[in-house]
Amino acid sequence: NAGVTQTPKFQVLKTGQSMTLQCAQDMNHEYMSWYRQDPGMGLRLIHYSVGAGITDQGEVPNGYNVSRSTTEDFPLRLLSAAPSQTSVYFCASSRVGTSSYNEQFFGPGTRLTVL
């Protein structure tokens, strides 16, 4: 049971390049989400999904796309990278149910630098 995995761990892009950050979970969780972490700002929600085929925007969605074709995978696409997207990106997953107490499990993160 690997939990939540993210690839790559590190990435350097040039302004204007596109790329996809991969996220996968093997816990059969319905809910998956992407966050970015910047110093002094905590984690901010980019996009989230409550099941295959269902996605929605979070707090800071501009410049990012997501899709959810399977329960396991939730890739994050940067359409045209900008220096403001330099950050650490975390993927998380949790069960969905009648309780909001479900713990979110986090991946190890991807450190992205945009030059």
Binding site for another protein (CB under 8 A): 31, 33, 35, 40-45, 48, 50, 56, 58, 90, 92, 94, 96, 99-104, 106-109
**CA pair distance 32, 36, nearest whole angstrom:** 14
Strands 19-25 and 110-114: unpaired
CB 74, min distance to another protein, A: 14
Three-state secondary structure call for residue 7: strand
> Closest CB to another protein among 16 and 56?
56
CB 67, min distance to another protein, A: 19
